[in-house]
Amino acid sequence: MAEQDQLVEGFNAGYMLEKYRPELAQQISQAVETVEEEFFQGFVEGCNEYIREQSRYKLLDKLRDDLSRPTSRSKDREMGKDGPDIDR
């Protein structure tokens, strides 16, 4: 159980450091990537999780912005008096 606690503590530390001090978190993460202790494995995963979440939020915001913008028909696709122009 102590190993699990170390993993969780490392994860939380990595997540919080990535949130508030991303440059420092990345330096530490790169330095300890190959260390096989649970705390450092959790630390690296916590950093990565925060980055993934931020990427997801940015994508969702972009998609929401794209959906909220009204679309306009392009001039070459506008309908004329008799309906759409169709090449036959």
**What residues does 83 pair with on adjacent strands?**
80
- pLDDT (0 to 100) of residue 5: 95
Kindly state the average pLDDT of the residues 42-61: 94
CA distance 35 to 52: 22
Token readout for 40 is: 């450092």
Q: How confident is the model at residue 66 (pLDDT cuts 50, 70, 90)?
A: confident
Place of tokens 């494995």: 41
- pLDDT (0 to 100) of residue 68: 76
Is the CA virtual torsion 36, 39, 40, 43 positive or negative? positive
Higher per-residue pLDDT: 84 or 66: 66
